[in-house]
A = this chain, B = another copy of it.
Amino acid sequence: MEVDTCPSPAAEPAPAEAEAFDFKGYMLRKAAAVNSALDEAVPLVHPERFYEAMRYSLLAGGKRVRPVLCLAACEVSGGRDACAMPAAVAVEMIHTMSLIHDDLPIMDDDDFRRGRPSCHRAFDDPVALLAGDALTFLAFGHLADPASYPADGSVPPDRIVRAVSELARCAGAGGLVLGQMADMEATGLGNHFSLDQLEFIHLHKTAALLEASVVIGAIVGGASDHQIEQLRNYGRCIGLLFQVVDDILDVTKSSEELGKTAGKDSASDKTTYPKLLGLEKSREFAEELLKDSKEQLAGFDPVKAAPLLHLANYIADRQK
C-alpha cells in the first residue's frame, strides 16, 4: 500500500462537494434497488428453513456499501445500474456468507449481528454453515447467469468471465479468506506483530472485497484497463480506510452508539491501528487514505465520479 506522506488537513467533504450532490438520497435510492434485487435473487422456496436462513442474513439491513460501490464504479465507467446489479448482488452475498461463517462458534462465536441474533443462533450451526456455502454458489450463479443481465448484450461474456475471476480471487485464498486465516493466526500475538502484518490482514480481510466490489463494477461497466487499475487503487484505499475507521470507532465510541460491543478489540488481544500507532496517528493515516482514494478519481468525469468521491467521505466520516 503506497501512502501519501503529506496528510490532507481535513477528512470533511468540502462545502461545494456536499451541495452539488445529494449523497443521502443517492444511498437510499441505490440501497433500495439492491435490497429489491437481493430479495428477488433468493426466493423463499423448499426447504423453507434453509432459504429462510439465507434471507434472514442477507436481508438483515446493513449499509450495502459494497453493492453501492459496485453500482457507482459501473456508472463512472460508462455503464448502467442494470449492468452491475448482478455483480452488486454477488458481492453482498459473499459479504454475508463471510459474516455467517465468521460468527459460527468454531470461529468468532458471535451471538449477535446487526442488532439481532446471528444466523446460527436464529437457526442452528449446520443450517448456518450450509446457508453460507449456498450464498457463495448463488453469488457466482447470479454473476454468471446471462438472464441476470440486460438482453441487449451490453455486458459481453468476456467481461463476465473477468468479473467471476476477480470475485473469486478477492474473496478466496488471495483475499478475504486468506485475511480471516491470517487474522486468526495473529490474534493472541498482541503488540508483537508489526504494522506491515496488520496491513496485510486488513488489506485481505476487509479491503479485498471492497476492492473487488469497485473493480467488478468497473469491469462490467466497460472501463479500460487503465481505469480499472485506478479504480482498484481507489478500492484498496477506501478498503483499508474502512478498517482504520472501524478500529478508531472501537476505541472512541460506546457500544450503544455503535450498535455492537465497543472496546471488543482492545479487550481482546487483537492488534489494531490505535494500539500500534496511537489514536492521533491513526486519524492522520485515515486522512491520508481518504486523500489518496480521491486522487485516483481525478481522471474521471467529475459528475459521474461524485458518488465514489462521496462514498469515500462517507467511509471516512461514519460514526458507526
Residues of A within 8 A of B (CB): 47, 49-51, 54, 101, 104-107, 125-127, 129-130, 132-134, 136-141, 143-146, 156-158, 160-162, 164-165, 167-169, 171-174, 177-178, 180-182, 184-185
Task: Given A106-B125, A161-B160, verify A133-B168 contact (CB < 8 Å).
Answer: no
Closest to A137 in B: B172
Chain A, interface SS category: helix
**In the complex the two chains form, is A180's CB within 8 Å of B136's CB?**
no
Q: Is the CB of B172 within 8 A of A141?
A: yes
Q: Are A177 and B107 in contact (CB under 8 A)?
A: no
Chain B residue numbers with a CB within 8 Å of A54 are: 173
B residues in contact with A171, CB < 8 Å: 137
Q: Do B177 and A134 touch across chains, with their CB atoms under 8 A apart? A: yes
A/B interface sample: 29 pairs, CB < 8 A: A47-B181, A47-B182, A47-B185, A50-B178, A50-B181, A101-B130, A101-B133, A104-B106, A105-B106, A106-B106, A106-B125, A126-B184, A127-B181, A129-B129, A130-B181, A132-B133, A133-B133, A133-B172, A134-B172, A134-B173, A136-B172, A144-B164, A144-B168, A146-B161, A156-B157, A157-B157, A157-B161, A161-B161, A164-B164
Smallest distance from the beta carbon of A143 to chain B beta carbons, Å?
8
Which residues of chain B come closer than 8 Å to A49, judged between CB atoms? 185
Nearest CB in chain B: distance from A261 CB, A: 20
Chain B residue at smallest Cβ distance from A128: B106
Closest to A50 in B: B181
- Complex Cα distance, B185 from A174, in Å, reads 35
Chain B: minimal CB distance from A131 (Å): 9
Contacts of A132 in B (CB 8 A): 133
- Please give, as numbers and ranges, the residues of chain B lying within 8 Å of A165 by CB-CB distance: 141, 144-146
Chain B positions within 8 Å of A161 at CB level: 144, 146, 157, 160-161, 164
Instruction: Name A165's closest neighbour in chain B (CB-CB).
Output: B144
A168: chain B residues within 8 A (beta carbon): 137-141, 144
Q: Which of B51, B129, B141, B172 contacts A138 (CB 8 A)?
A: B172
How many angstroms from the CA of A161 to the CA of B171 in the assembled complex?
19
A156 to B157, CA, bound (A): 9
**Which partner residue on chain B sits nearest A97 by CB separation?**
B133
Q: Provide the residues of chain B in CB contact with A172, threshold 8 Å.
A: 133-134, 136-138, 141
Residues in chain B near residue A127, CB distance under 8 A: 181
User: Judging by beta carbons under 8 Å apart, are B177 and A133 in contact?
Assistant: yes
User: Which of B51, B106, B130, B167 is in CB contact (< 8 Å) with A180?
Assistant: B130
Q: Which residues of B contact A133 (CB under 8 A)?
A: 101, 132-133, 136, 172, 177
Contacts of A185 in B (CB 8 A): 47, 49
- Chain B residues positioned under 8 Å from A47 (CB to CB): 178, 181-182, 185
- CB pair B106 A137 closer than 8 Å: no
